[in-house]
């Protein structure tokens, strides 16, 4: 028997069904609105200025000197010479340039071999290729993307000239083992692009190899847009480094009053940045401690909040390494999982990114027809590593939100 109420519901069934369908949509809209209210889009990186950049640039301009090698350049170089204990540091226009200087100083000739990790930025290899080197690619460690020091010995041949460890995300490579492999005749050139203010067994990264290169690109802890630094830790290279830096001339000696005219004495290029770039960089260097403290707080928040997600491997720092909070990365279980995670975060306003593509599989290397080995760890990081936003102005609420979204990705049905 139908009651009046039954009849009423039956008659308006379509309308009630429609309302029912709307409910989750309105809830979704509500949550999304809440998220939007709390969170704007969170970019992967945001440049932070200390406030002193403009002052120092104005000061540099008022000194009437805009080319390089002036007061601010000297201040920045002395800062690193003191911090690293290097014989000499030279500011460059990029880390790529500093690496190119390393390749020249190492006297790399066509046919020489240089050992480079496959999981790195192009410049680590390119700087040596420009001098005619053949790159021998090394795999990464199982527990972090740094070069696998245990596999290096097998890659050394009579043609090997140098090993170039990259301190990925500021995590030190195992330098004692690398130096032991290089001991007899190889140079060790640290790619310390990401490694400012990080240490290996208490020694600053960039001070351990014969030479080292840093980056001040806008994505780095300390930045000036584009910039770099060459650290010379072996006195044999000091004199020539100044000449390469100054377009193959002995102008640096002339400026110091050591000679009465300067001229063309060697190869080189124009590697030095203008004074106003050095002035910008000086403002950042002065704030190094506070920048580092803030970045480390953010890094630690990620690390604590993301514990316990079984398929997401968090960074592993060996006992000998410190954390300079250059990047917060994690390694997903599969490439598909990483793609889905990045997409999920983007749909919730968070920009996360993958990183390097294994160089041994690049088109450039294929065209060289070099023999390359399988490098499974490098490929794993290429396919599965994801980096989350980390920059000075990232607020604790935002880090919390990002971690919540990562967790909700892993608990949601995919």
Which residues sit at the interface with ligand PLP, rule CB under 6 A?
A: 94-96, 120-121, 123-124, 166, 191, 193-194, 215, 217, 228
Structure tokens at 356: 């390097």
Interhelix angle 275-286/288-305, rounded to 10 degrees, is 60
We find the least distance from the C-beta atom of residue 38 to ligand PLP, in angstroms, to be 32
We find the least distance from the C-beta atom of residue 213 to ligand PLP, in angstroms, to be 7
Nearer to ligand PLP, 79 or 410 (CB): 79
Indicate the burial class of 412 (C-beta count within 10 angstroms; 0-12, 13-18, 19 or more).
Answer: exposed
Nearer to ligand PLP, 148 or 398 (CB): 148
Nearer to ligand PLP, 120 or 160 (CB): 120
8 A C-beta contact, residue 387 and residue 352: yes
Nearer to ligand PLP, 87 or 126 (CB): 126
8 A C-beta contact, residue 174 and residue 149: yes
8 A C-beta contact, residue 357 and residue 122: no
The rounded distance, in Å, linking the Cα atoms of 148 and 267 is 34
We find the least distance from the C-beta atom of residue 319 to ligand PLP, in angstroms, to be 23
We find the least distance from the C-beta atom of residue 163 to ligand PLP, in angstroms, to be 15
The CA-CA-CA angle for residues 77, 79, 80, to 5°, reads: 70
We find the least distance from the C-beta atom of residue 166 to ligand PLP, in angstroms, to be 5
Structure tokens at 391: 């920059």
Nearer to ligand PLP, 205 or 287 (CB): 205
DSSP letter (8 states) at residue 330: E
8 A C-beta contact, residue 150 and residue 126: no
Nearest in space to 91 (alpha carbons), one of 113, 109, 73: 73
We find the least distance from the C-beta atom of residue 379 to ligand PLP, in angstroms, to be 18
Q: Cα dist. 154→136, 181, 314 in Å?
A: 11, 10, 29
Nearer to ligand PLP, 213 or 243 (CB): 213
Helix, strand, coil tally for the chain in percent (to 5): 45, 15, 40
We find the least distance from the C-beta atom of residue 224 to ligand PLP, in angstroms, to be 10
Nearest in space to 160 (alpha carbons), one of 183, 185, 177: 185
Nearer to ligand PLP, 95 or 332 (CB): 95
């Amino acid at each position: 028997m139908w009651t009046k109420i039954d009849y009423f519901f039956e008659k308006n069934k379509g309308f009630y069904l429609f309302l029912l369908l709307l409910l989750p949509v309105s809830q979704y809209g509500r949550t999304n609105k809440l998220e939007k209210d709390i969170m704007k889009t969170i970019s992967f990186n945001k440049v932070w200025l200390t406030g002193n950049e403009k002052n120092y640039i104005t000061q540099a301009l008022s000194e009437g000197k805009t080319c390089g090698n002036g007061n601010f350049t000297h201040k920045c170089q002395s800062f690193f010479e003191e911090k690293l204990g290097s014989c000499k540091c030279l500011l460059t226009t990029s880390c790529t340039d500093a690496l190119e200087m390393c390749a020249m100083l190492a006297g790399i000739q066509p046919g020489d071999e240089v050992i480079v990790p496959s999981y790195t930025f192009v410049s680590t290899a390119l700087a040596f290729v420009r001098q005619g080197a053949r790159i021998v690619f090394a795999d990464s460690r199982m527990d972090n993307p740094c070069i696998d020091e245990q596999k290096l010995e097998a890659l050394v041949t009579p043609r090997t000239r140098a090993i170039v460890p990259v301190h990925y995300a500021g995590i030190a490579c195992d330098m004692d083992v690398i130096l032991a492999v290089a001991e007899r005749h190889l140079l060790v050139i640290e790619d310390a692009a990401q490694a400012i203010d990080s240490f290996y067994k208490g020694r600053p990264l960039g001070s351990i190899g014969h030479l080292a290169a840093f980056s001040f690109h806008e994505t780095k802890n300390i930045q000036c847009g584009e910039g770099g630094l060459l650290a010379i830790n072996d006195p044999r290279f000091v004199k020539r480094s100044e000449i390469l830096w100054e377009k193959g001339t002995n102008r640096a000696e002339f400026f110091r009053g050591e000679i009465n005219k300067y001229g063309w004495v060697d190869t080189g290029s124009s590697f030095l940045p203008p004074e106003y770039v050095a002035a910008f960089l000086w403002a950042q260097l002065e704030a190094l401690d506070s920048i580092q403290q803030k970045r480390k707080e953010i890094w630690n928040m990620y690390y604590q909040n993301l514990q316990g997600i079984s398929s997401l491997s968090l960074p592993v720092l060996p006992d000998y390494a410190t954390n300079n909070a250059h990047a917060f990365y994690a390694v997903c279980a599969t490439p598909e999982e990483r793609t889905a995670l990045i997409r999920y975060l983007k749909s919730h306003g968070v920009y996360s990114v993958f990183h390097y593509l294994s160089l041994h599989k690049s088109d450039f290397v294929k065209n060289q027809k070099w023999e390359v080995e399988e490098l499974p760890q490098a490929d794993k990081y290429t396919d599965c590593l994801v980096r989350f936003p980390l920059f000075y102005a990232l607020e604790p609420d935002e880090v919390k939100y990002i971690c919540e979204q990562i967790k909700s990705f892993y608990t949601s049905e995919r």
